[in-house]
Structure formats: C-alpha cells, structure tokens
C-alpha cells in the first residue's frame, strides 16, 4: 500500500456567504486527512478556486485569476475549480483551461480527497452530479472567522426566478435536520463564537419535514451563549406569521432583514417570476417593521431586466425611496446561459447605456436615502460586536444588531467583545463611534 501524498492546500473564494461556508467545509475535510491549509497560493500543493456564476462579471474575474495562478504553480500542483461556475461549465472548463485538473460542483466536495489523489497521477476529472442527501453533516468546517459563524441550513433553490442561474448550479432545495443545526450552533458557541448567521438560498422556506423556519429560529436561538442570530437570504413569500412571530420573540434574532426586492414594478416582477407584486413586497416589509421595532431593511435590486421600461424603472426608484432601505446591493441584469430570461424576445433587451444610466440613478437614490437616515442616527447609542481590525488598520470594525458598521478606536484584544457605543460621525454609509461603556461578553441565554 502506498501512503497517501498530502501537502499544503490553498483555497480562494468568490461570491456569496454560502461559498465561504463551502470553502470552510472543503478545508475542514482536507485538513482532517492531513492537508495543511495555507493562506497564499505560492508553491501550494493544491490550489482550489471556489467560484460564483451569478453574473458574467463574476466568471470573468475567475477566468482572469486562473491565468494569474499559473505563475504560483509548481509542476505537480493540483488546480481545482469548485462551486457554481464549475457546476455550470463542467467539462467545458477542462477544455478551456488546460492547467485546471479538477472541476467540482457544490455537491461534489466529498470526493475531493480522492479526486486530488487522482489528479496527482495525471487524471483530470469533473464531478458535477447533484446529491439531494448531501449536507456534509460529518465534515467539521475549518472556520475563517473567530467572531462570527456561518451555518448552512438549506442547499439549493426551488424558486427558479427567470434571471437566476442558482437553481441550475446548486440544484433543488433541501434542508438540514433542525437537531443538526442546533448541534453545530452549540459547537461554535463552545468555541467562543456568539454570533451565528443561518444560510440558505431562500432560507426562510426552510423545512426539515417536521420543523419550519420559525422552529429553527427558536431552536437555535435557545442555545445558551448565543447572543446574535442572523439569517440570509429570505424570500418575501416565506415570511409567514409564525416566522415573523419567532423573529420578534427570540431574543437573539437581530433587528435586520436582507430582503431581496429585485424590482419595484409588478410587471417586471412578473417577468422575473418572483411570485409577488410590488404591493405584496411592501406589505411584507410593513409586517416585518410592525413586529420588530427598529428593524433595518436592506435589499438586492436588478436593473435592465428584459422589457424594463422607464416607467418600470421609476417604480423601482420610488419603491427604494418609499421603503427607506438602509442599504441595497444593485446589479445590472446579466444574461445567464440556459435561464428563461435569455429566451425572451430580443427586442425586450435593455441597451447597456440605458441599464448603466439606471444603475447610476439607483445607486444615487440608495445613497441619498441612507445618508439622511444615518445622519439622523448620530448621537444615539448601540451595542456593537467588534469583528476585526478595519481595512485601513487604525480602527476596529464593529457592528450593531441592525448590521450597521461602526468604526471604533481600540486594539486587537477587543475583537469578539461587546461594547456600547455612541455614533459620532458617518460617511453616509458607515459610522464612527465612541465607546461609552464596556459590556461583559456575557451570554444572553443562560
Ligand atoms: N443578473 C444580475 N443580477 C443577478 N442576481 C441574480 N442573478 C442575476 C443576474 N442574472 C442578483 C439578485 C440576487 C443577487 C444575489 O444577485 O439581485 O438577489
Ligand atoms: Fe435565484 Fe430566485 Fe432562487 Fe434567489 S430565489 S437563488 S434569485 S432563483
């Protein structure tokens, strides 16, 4: 018998939190059999690029990066492309990039060790089958963040919005068992983590056969020591009264919902197959706000969807103004091969100049609204959790329960602790704050 060859492994992640979480699983699984995770690609024995396929731009970045990575590779380095772009392109990616050895979709990570072994013997391979039982239940993730944990509770998506590639790349929706999610939460809390974000493509449609998302919030929220519970991303249609009630009553659930709207025009929403009207979206936002005082609301919006007229876009602008979002991720529609939106009549295509102009106006409207609201918050006090040293390095980055970013003075020893801060300044989107009192990092539920 030959001893398995191990070595160092480097993972680079693109795209959403679900991908970050998948990268943690891949690293955990490889570390458990003896691979050493490293944080740079130079000379690594295995390089994995975990990719996103949501927009063409995301894929182009990866293509560029794969070219760059060549220079870090030794003759025997194994290069694997994983995630949504791998699933979408499959063997086409092996043809296109000759230095890529492995192409593995989101349900194929269990085979990573054996595929890497094969690749070391020169076997290039693709693994892109869906596995509806796959939750990687027995794999311990190697977490990148010491303060917050992301816990996947659902994989795949059954909604099939007409612009979206996710149902193709991540397959049908399936939920983990509630008891497994609670166990994982207990484990991360035992490691000193006090904030958990539950992940799913339409996370509030969670159902494990016996429990819905309300049960999940109650079950996870009852884990002693957990102080903050978040989730992303919900679908407006899955906010049942039960779920909203659980959000309002489970103390750990934070006062923030990221609620993708996509468009403020019922006509466009219909073409997108979002399954709600403008009025129904507004109603969902009001029900959430009525139940949860101080709730902050953020969203995703797409402009330039096929057939979007000036009037449709004006409705999106007015919705953004009326709903007073705290922030919004804004995107130009990107046609994804094989999705229903690409089969709409060519004359419905919105020219790029028009889409760019709309995007600019939308961003301005989001900023203007957020700026006004943020200015009005100056002088108020909030509990923050310190996450890390800020990007510029002199201040610490902390977050309120409403997910607002506050930069505070301090040193690394404060990371992971809670403080009360007074908001002293704002750039329009983020805040600076002064610490007014220290709060012991006592668990909420003991
Ligand atoms: N083009 C542009 N934006 C898209 N999104 C999803 N698919 C597309 C696409 N084809 C956006 C949606 C979604 C977010 C994650 O990405 O707004 O909520
Ligand atoms: Fe894509 Fe729609 Fe599913 Fe979200 S709900 S992942 S936008 S198909």
pLDDT for 26-77, tens place per residue? 999 999 999 999 999 999 999 999 999 999 999 999 999 999 999 999 999 9
Shared domain for 105 and 161, answered yes or no, is no
Assess if residue 2 is contained within a domain: no
- Judged against a pLDDT cut of 80, whether residue 440 lies above it is answered with no
Asked if the structure places residue 175 within a domain, the reply is yes
CA-atom Rg of the chain in angstroms: 22
Same domain flag for 210 and 184: yes
Statement to judge: residues 387 and 372 lie in one domain? no
What's the CATH number where 109 sits?
Answer: 3.40.50.2300
Q: Find out whether 125 and 119 touch, Cβ atoms under 8 Å.
A: yes
The conformational region for residue 234 under phi > 0 = left, psi -120 to 50 = alpha, else beta, is beta
For residue 165, report the distance from its CA to the centre of ligand 2, in Å.
8
Q: For residue 271, give the nearest of 345, 324, 211 by alpha carbon.
A: 345
Query: Is the same domain home to 394 and 365?
Result: no
Q: 178 and 302: one domain?
A: yes
Residue 402 falls inside a structural domain: yes
DSSP 212: B
Mean pLDDT, range 298-306, rounded to an integer: 98
Q: Are 382 and 294 in contact (CB under 8 A)?
A: no
Same domain for 186 and 309:
yes
Supply the CATH number for residue 385's domain: 2.40.50.140
Average pLDDT, the chain: 95
Same domain, 340 and 396: no
Nearest atom (ligand 2) to Cα of 164? 1
The span from the CA of 170 to the CA of 88, in Å, is: 9
Split at pLDDT 50, 70, 90, the class of 446 is very low
Residue 302 Cβ < 6 Å to ligand 1: yes
| Ligand with minimal distance to 163 CA | 1
Return the ligand number nearest the Cα of 336: 1
> From ligand 2's centre to the CA of 107, what distance in Å?
18
Let me know if residue 169 belongs to a domain: yes
- pLDDT tens-digit profile of 367-405? 999 999 999 999 999 999 999 999 887 899 999 999 999
Q: With respect to residue 139, please indicate whether it lies within any of the assigned structural domains.
A: no
251-275 pLDDT, tens digit each: 999 999 999 999 999 999 999 999 9
**Which ligand has its closest atom nearest to the C-alpha of 162?**
2
DSSP 8-state secondary structure symbol assigned to residue 305 = -
- Summarize pLDDT for 306-327 with one digit per residue, the tens: 999 999 999 999 999 999 999 9
Q: Are residues 417 and 349 located together in one domain of the fold?
A: no
Q: Residues 372, 376, 377, CA angle at the centre, nearest 5°?
A: 120
**Atom 2 (ligand 2) nearest CA:** 161
**Residue 439: which pLDDT band, with cuts at 50, 70 and 90?**
low
Measure the CA–CA gap between 421 and 230, rounded to whole angstroms.
21
271 and 173 belong to one structural domain? yes
CATH number at residue 194: 3.80.30.20
Flag whether 70 is in a domain. Answer: yes
Question: In the numeric block, which tokens belong to residue 320?
Answer: 């953004």
Pairwise CA distance, residues 345 & 414, whole Å: 56
Task: Give the pLDDT band (50/70/90) at residue 438.
Answer: confident
Helix 352-376 crosses helix 310-323 at what angle (to 10 degrees)?
10
Q: Do 299 and 316 share a domain, yes or no?
A: yes
How many structural domains comprise the chain? 3
Collapse the DSSP code of 213 into the 3-class scheme (helix H, G, I; strand E, B; otherwise coil) and give the result: helix
Q: Does 337 reside within a domain?
A: yes
pLDDT tens readout for residues 125-147: 999 999 888 888 888 999 989 99
3-state secondary structure 158-202: CCCCCCCCHHHHHCCCEECCHHHHHHHHHHHHHCCCCEEEEECCC
Both structure tokens of 370: 């957020």
Q: Which helix or strand (DSSP H or E) is residue 155 part of?
A: strand 154-155
Could you tell me the distance, in angstroms and rounded to a whole number, from the CA of residue 435 to the centre of ligand 2? 40
* Domain extent at residue 290: 148-376
138 in any annotated domain: no
Query: Are residue 354 and residue 394 in the same domain, yes or no?
Result: no
Could you tell me which residues are beta bridge partners of residue 426?
431
Tokens matching residue 168: 């193709």
For atom 17 of ligand 1, which residue has the closest CA?
A: 300
Q: Are residues 169 and 282 in the same domain?
A: yes
User: What pLDDT does 52 receive?
Assistant: 97
Token pair of 127 as six digits: 């693994």
**Dist CA 174 CA 317 (whole Å):** 35
pLDDT 10s digits, 404-424: 999 999 999 999 999 999 999
**Tens-place pLDDT, residues 289-298:** 999 999 999 9
For residues 340 and 18, give the distance between their C-alpha atoms in angstroms, rounded to a whole number: 24
């Amino acid at each position: 018998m030959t001893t398995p060859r191990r070595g160092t492994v480097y993972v680079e992640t693109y795209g959403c939190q679900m991908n970050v979480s998948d990268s943690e699983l891949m690293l955990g699984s490889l570390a458990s059999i003896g691979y050493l995770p490293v944080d740079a690609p130079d000379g690594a024995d295995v390089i994995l690029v975990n990719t996103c396929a949501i927009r063409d731009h995301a894929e182009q970045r990866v293509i560029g990066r794969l070219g760059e990575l060549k220079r870090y590779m030794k003759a025997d380095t194994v290069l694997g492309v994983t995630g949504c772009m791998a699933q979408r392109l499959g063997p086409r990616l092996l043809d296109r990039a000759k230095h890529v050895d492995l192409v593995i979709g989101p349900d194929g990570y269990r085979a990573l060790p054996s595929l890497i072994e094969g690749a070391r013997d020169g076997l290039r391979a693709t693994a892109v089958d869906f596995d509806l039982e796959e939750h990687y239940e027995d794999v311990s993730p190697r977490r990148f963040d010491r303060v917050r944990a992301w816990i996947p509770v659902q994989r795949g998506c059954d909604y099939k919005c007409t612009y979206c590639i996710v149902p193709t790349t991540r397959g049908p929706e399936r939920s983990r068992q509630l008891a497994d999610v609670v166990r994982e939460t207990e484990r991360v809390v035992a490691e000193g983590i006090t904030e958990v974000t539950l992940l799913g493509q339409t996370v509030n449609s969670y159902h494990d056969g016996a429990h819905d998302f309300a049960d999940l919030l109650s079950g996870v929220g009852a884990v002693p020591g957990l102080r903050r519970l978040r989730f992303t991303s919900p679908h407006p249609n899955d906010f049942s009264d039960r779920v909203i009630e659980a959000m309002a009553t489970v103390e750990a659930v934070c006062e923030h919902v990221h609620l993708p709207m996509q468009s403020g025009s019922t006509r466009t929403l219909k073409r997108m197959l979002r399954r709600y009207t403008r009025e129904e979206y507004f109603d969902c936002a009001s029900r959430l706000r009525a139940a949860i005082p101080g709730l902050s609301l953020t969203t995703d919006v797409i402009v330039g969807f096929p057939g979007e007229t000036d009037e449709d876009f004006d409705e999106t602008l007015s919705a953004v103004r009326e709903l007073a979002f705290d922030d919004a991720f804004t995107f130009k529609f990107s046609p994804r091969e094989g999705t229903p939106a690409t089969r709409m009549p060519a004359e419905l295509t919105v020219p790029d100049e028009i889409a760019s102009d709309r995007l600019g106006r939308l961003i301005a409207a989001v900023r203007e609204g957020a700026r006004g609201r943020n200015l009005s918050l100056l002088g108020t006090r909030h509990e923050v959790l310190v996450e890390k040293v800020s990007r510029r390095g002199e201040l610490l980055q902390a977050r309120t329960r409403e997910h607002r970013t506050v930069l505070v003075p301090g040193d690394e020893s404060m990371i992971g602790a809670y403080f009360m801060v007074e908001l002293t300044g704002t750039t329009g989107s983020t805040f600076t704050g002064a610490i007014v009192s220290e709060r012991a990092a006592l668990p909420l539920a003991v």
